[in-house]
């Protein structure tokens, strides 16, 4: 395995070589590569959800390449290298699992999850201490770059750990109804686009909160709904095309009838 890793690192070094490398690879930086890193992570998730192990192997390779790419750019700039990345995560995993690598005694997965969160909270507090102008917060460490649904869920979980949370779903459903009323008010004339956007965001945030309490991952739930919508819409298009028509030529009522037929056939 060490030989394979060394080969991959050498490939990336050659791709970034200023004289003989690939022009596209040479001109990239952390900012330009970051979107590809996120995309590859999503493609790993997609392969897992499709239970396609061949695709997963390929996508994990693509994701590893992203790590190597960032590490190579950091090495060139004198910040750190791939070996430092591996050493850092190895030290962190050892430190966060004292029940495996030291003499701590943890009985089950639930206790381990709590110990893990305590450890991460201590690390976040130490990190916050490096910034004199910022007080430690339970929300420290939630990345700004996360997809909005995932970030909302993580923020809510962090707040819940310090007691800022409802105990049951009833108040959350009432909150969603309240937000709908506020959206209805906000869309009345004269419309303030910024205010309307904020109210829509409050509704989405409240929906994530309810979904979280129901034990459902909001990001995955919405992906499933996207996939379901796409499948049904394509089938609706097929029905219309089978009539030698275009979707644009159908009324909304006719399309809704076909939509309901597609749903019933599932």
**pLDDT (tens digit, 0 to 9) for every residue of the chain, 266 residues total?**
788 999 999 999 999 999 999 999 999 999 999 989 989 998 998 899 889 999 999 999 999 999 999 999 999 999 999 999 999 999 988 888 887 887 766 666 666 666 666 666 666 666 655 555 667 788 887 888 788 888 999 999 989 988 999 988 899 999 999 999 999 999 987 889 999 999 999 999 999 999 999 999 898 899 899 999 999 999 999 999 999 999 999 999 999 999 999 999 88
- Count of C-beta atoms within a 10 Å radius of residue 229: 10
What is the rounded distance in angstroms from the CA atom of residue 89 to the CA atom of residue 79?
16
Superfamily of domain 2-96: MazG-like (1.10.287.1080)
Is residue 49 within 8 A of residue 60, CB to CB? The reply is no
Please spell the DSSP secondary structure of 51-112, one letter per residue.
Answer: T-HHHHHHHHHHHHHHHHHHHHHHHHHTS--HHHHHHHHHHHHHHH-HHHHSS----SHHHH
- Give the residue among 2, 7, 12, 6 at the shortest CA–CA distance from 68: 12
pTM here?
A: 0.62
SS3 content of the chain, % helix, strand, coil (to 5): 75, 0, 25
């Amino acid at each position: 395995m060490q030989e394979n890793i060394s080969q991959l690192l050498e490939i990336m070094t050659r791709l970034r070589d200023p004289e003989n490398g690939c022009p596209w690879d040479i001109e990239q930086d952390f900012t330009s590569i970051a979107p590809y890193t996120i995309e590859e992570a999503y493609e790993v998730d997609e392969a897992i959800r499709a239970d396609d192990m061949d695709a997963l192997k390929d996508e994990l390779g693509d994701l590893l390449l992203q790590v190597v790419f960032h590490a190579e750019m950091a090495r060139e700039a004198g910040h750190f290298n791939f070996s430092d990345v591996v050493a850092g995560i190895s030290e962190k995993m050892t430190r966060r699992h004292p029940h495996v690598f030291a003499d701590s005694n943890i009985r089950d997965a639930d206790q381990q999850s709590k110990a893990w969160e305590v450890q991460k909270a201590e690390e976040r507090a130490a990190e916050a201490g490096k910034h004199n102008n910022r007080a430690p917060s339970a929300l420290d460490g939630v990345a700004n770059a996360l997809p909005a649904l995932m970030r909302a869920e993580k923020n809510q979980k962090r707040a819940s750990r310090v007691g800022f949370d409802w105990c049951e779903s009833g108040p959350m459903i009432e909150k969603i109804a309240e937000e709908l009323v506020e959206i209805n008010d906000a869309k009345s004339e004269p419309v303030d686009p910024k205010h309307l956007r904020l109210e829509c965001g409050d509704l989405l945030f409240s929906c994530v909160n309810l979904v979280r309490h129901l034990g459902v991952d909001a990001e995955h739930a919405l992906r499933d709904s996207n996939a379901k919508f796409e499948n049904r819409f394509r089938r609706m298009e097929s029905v219309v095309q089978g009539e030698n028509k275009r979707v644009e030529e159908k009324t909304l009522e006719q399309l809704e009838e076909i939509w309901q037929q597609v749903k019933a056939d599932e």
